[in-house]
Structure formats: structure tokens, C-alpha cells
Amino acid sequence: MSIALDQFANVTIVADGSPLKRQAFGTLAILVGEGSTVEVDTYTKASDVGTDFGTDSEAYRCALRAFSQTPRPRRVKVISAGAAVTHRFTITVSAATDGTVTSLTVLKADGTSASFTQTANSQTTTQIATALAALIDADTDLAATSLNAVITVTGATAGEFNYITASTNLITYTDTTADPGYATALNTAITVDNDWYGLVVDAASSTVVTAVAAWAEANNKLYGAQIMNDAELTSGGTIGAALKTAAYDRTFAVYHRVKNASERLDAGWLALMLTYNAGRANWRGKTVRGVTSDALSSTQIGFLEGDNVNYYDTVADRNVTMQGKLASGEWIDIIHGRDSLVADLQNAIATLTLNAPKLAYVQPGIDAIVAEGKGVLERYATGTYPFLRPGTIEGAGPDIDDVSDADLAARELNDVVFTAEYAGAINTTNMQLTLSVG
């Protein structure tokens, strides 16, 4: 018989510890005012969302828009807030000249449309509003009241959203939906499932948007708020201005008026951009499938851009997102990439520390941490569309002889410093062409 080699050399394989779990920077969450408890569910196709929430729900509309993109996300998550939301908006009668037609077409939650018309006949704007509100209120899917010249339209069923697709002699559309407690629901949701990064919400009132934006800023999530109040197109805009004043780095507002039942520009844009590696795609100039562009004047665009509000316009017959900015004025790709980079640095250093039997507090241990950190940064500087500029990465740690006794005793390494430069994006090109006679 032959003698086994382990009589001379016995080899035991010890697997290195696996990397720590990393936050899903490519995953979108949809928050809706549904359910009796806070729940987070994962979906890989829109039809399953429709089965669970109904095809007339904002959860389904957002999921449908997300999964309609190319490239498309692998999954989305739906957060049920555990509290019902009641969609509400106001609109104001403009004039009361005899013969003036005041009309409103509402796209209802079930996808059908209903039109309501009132012709002025020796009436005031208050009387026109009262008459038109009565017509709307007679619809079983809608409820309406009026005060002076202002009509308030509410969905008859909680959780259902209705949109204006056409109107005459009506101005100042404003979403006035009350916040059902979304920040509290999100606090609970991240204890259930925190493995997501992008966030959209069913409602778009100032109250809801500002509450969710404050939460996103404190919790390192990227919130996309689709707003459609008429005031945002004027000097009286409030939502964009408030977000800009707060200088939020993790909320972007995008103006868009819904024209069909599933036009969730916010969900489509976020889902599309989160499919790219973080920081390696410019959010400006992207086409969101299934969304029509807004016909905005240069004056209206000026007000939106002044408040750092994004919008969806047409360039050479192509519908594209414009600006690509956060409320603070920072570019969205910078914060998306930065959040991902910080998470990867933390993950890499923690993995190195936890997987070693002992990362000794000696010069080689310090150098190992620096090398690991530089390695992460270098990965962000590779490829055709890098997040960091190649050749700009530097990193250093302290000399072991300069480490204080207090740090050695506390086993705490300080003064590890990395530097790098962003690789921005080219948005506008200025050219000069000189022609001469040959």
C-alpha cells in the first residue's frame, strides 16, 4: 500500500471571513399610505405589486414605471406605512365673465376620466366654484367642497389618487394631502428592512415632501419628490424653495404634471439611475420610458432652475431629464457615488479588521488599512465612466512611532487620510468654428 502524503504534510483549509453585507445602493423603495402595520415587501415585477395592492394604486403605478425602464431594476421594495393617506388638491376659479366656461377633467384612480363643466351666467367666482364642486361631489369616486373661489377635491376612498389632466378657467393647482406620519413609518421600516437606498412616496404635498426630505437627510437615503403645484412655475413656489433653503443633499425635486394613470417620473427616473454603478452616470439628459414631457416656457424653467427643481423637457424630439441636481444645488451623481464610496470604505476596513485573527497595531497593520482604503478608491477611478479622477488618489497613515500612548491603549487608529478628486460630467460644450476660403 502507498503512504498518504498527510503523513508528511497535513494541510487544513481555513476559509477567510466573508465580506460584510453592503447596503443595496441600486434598490428603490416605494412608500405608500396603505395597510394597518408597517411592512416592507420585495418585488421583481410590477404585476405582483398590482396583485397585492391593486392596479389602481400608486404602489403599482410606481412599480410599473420602475420596471418599464431600460436597463430595469432587478427588484423594488414597497413600504406600507400602516396608515391611510387621503389624496387632496385645491384649484381656484379664475374669472366669472358671462359665458366663460369653467371645466375640469379628472383622471380617477381606476384609470377612467370624468369631466365637469360650468358656464358662467351672472355668477361670481364663488358661485361658479360652488356649482362645479357640487357636480364633482356627485361622482361616487370623488368628494368636493368649495370656499370662496377655491374648490377642494378629495378621493372618496383612502389611498386612491386622482389627477387633473385638463382644465379651463381654473388656476393654482395645489396638492394639500395631509401627512399620515410618513417619517414615523420610515423609522419603523428601516428596522424591518433597511436594504434599500432610493425612495419615492405616493403623495406630493408640501407637508409630505418636507417631512420625508428631512427624514431622508438624516438617514442617508436618496429621495425623489415629484411635484406638480402650479406655484412652482412662478415666483410663488414653496416646495422647491423650502428644500433649497434647507440645502438638502439627499432630496431632489422634479416637476411633472401627470397626463396618464402611470406617469410616475420620480419612480422611473430613480429606478433607471440606480441600475448604474453609483456615481458613474449623469442624471441629466436621461429618457424615462412611459413619461411624456412638460411644455414649459423659458420663464417657468427659470423659476424651476432658480429653486434647483428638475424637470422633463424635449430636446431634438427626445424627452430628457434636465438639471440632475439635488435641492442643495449639488449634482445627484456626486452624492449617490459618495454615499456608495463611504459604505465601501467602511465595509472594506471593517472586513479587514474582523477577518484577521488580530490586526496588530504595528506599522504593517497601519499600512494594511491604508492599502485597503486606497484599493477601494482606485476601483472608483477605473473604467470608461469613473467616479473619481484617475491619478488623483492619495492615502497615508501615521508612522507607528508617532502614535500616542493613549491611542495605542485604546486600540484606536487616528490620522488616516485619503484624498481624491471627483470626475464630474460634461453637461454643456461651447465650440468655436472658423471657416475660411480655400
C-alpha to C-alpha distance for 85 and 88, rounded to whole angstroms: 9
Q: What is the pLDDT of residue 13?
A: 44
Whether 106 and 167 have beta carbons less than 8 Å apart is answered as no
Lowest mean pLDDT among 142-146, 260-264, 384-388: 260-264
**Residues paired with residue 29 on neighbouring β-strands, in sequence order:** 77, 199
At 15, the pLDDT band (50, 70, 90 cuts) reads very low
Contacts with 421 (C-beta within 8 Å, 6 or more apart), sequence order: 388, 389, 392
Whether 339 and 197 have beta carbons less than 8 Å apart is answered as yes
Q: What is the pLDDT of residue 111?
A: 86
Q: Where are the alpha helices (DSSP H) in 356-396?
A: 363-379
pLDDT digits (tens, 9 = 90+) for 49-79: 999 999 999 999 999 999 999 999 999 999 9
Q: What is the pLDDT of residue 262?
A: 74
Q: What is the mean pLDDT of the chain?
A: 93
At 14, the pLDDT band (50, 70, 90 cuts) reads very low
Vertex 187 angle, CA 183 and 193, to 5°:
130
At 20, the pLDDT band (50, 70, 90 cuts) reads low
pLDDT digits (tens, 9 = 90+) for 136-147: 999 999 999 999
Amino acid at 235: S
Q: What DSSP designation does 114 have?
A: E
The SS3 assignment for 167 reads strand
**Half-sphere exposure of residue 188: CA atoms within 13 angstroms, side-chain side:** 14
Whether 279 and 337 have beta carbons less than 8 Å apart is answered as yes
- What pTM was estimated for this model as a whole? 0.92
Grid cell listed for 197: 437606498
The yes-or-no verdict on residue 276 having pLDDT over 80 is yes
pLDDT digits (tens, 9 = 90+) for 26-41: 999 999 999 999 999 9
Q: What is the pLDDT of residue 24?
A: 83
Q: SS3 sequence, 36-97?
A: CCCEEEEECCHHHHHHHHCCCCHHHHHHHHHHCCCCCCCCEEEEECCCCCCCEEEEEECCCC
The whole-number average pLDDT for the span 86-98 is 96
Q: What is the pLDDT of residue 1?
A: 55
pLDDT digits (tens, 9 = 90+) for 188-224: 999 999 999 999 999 999 999 999 999 999 999 999 9
241 burial class (0-12, 13-18, 19+ CB within 10 angstroms)?
buried
The CATH label, of 2.60.120.10, 3.40.640.10, 2.60.40.4390, 1.10.260.40, for the domain at 88-175 is 2.60.40.4390
Grid cell listed for 264: 410616475
Grid cell listed for 97: 365673465
**Residues paired with residue 108 on neighbouring β-strands, in sequence order:** none
All structural domains of the chain with their residue ranges: 28-84+179-330, 88-175, 356-419
Q: What DSSP designation does 165 have?
A: E
At 287, the pLDDT band (50, 70, 90 cuts) reads very high
The whole-number average pLDDT for the span 14-25 is 62
Helix axes 206-219, 239-246, angle to 10 degrees: 20
Grid cell listed for 351: 472586513
What percentage of residues in the chain have a pLDDT greater than 70? 95
**Distance from chain centroid for Cα 408:** 43
Distances 271 to 109, 162, 285 between C-alpha atoms, Å = 23, 23, 15
The yes-or-no verdict on residue 311 having pLDDT over 60 is yes
Tally of CB atoms within 10 A around 55: 18
SS3 content of the chain, % helix, strand, coil (to 5): 30, 20, 45
Grid cell listed for 215: 427624514
Smallest CA-to-CA distance from 186 within 158, 225, 221, 226 is with 221
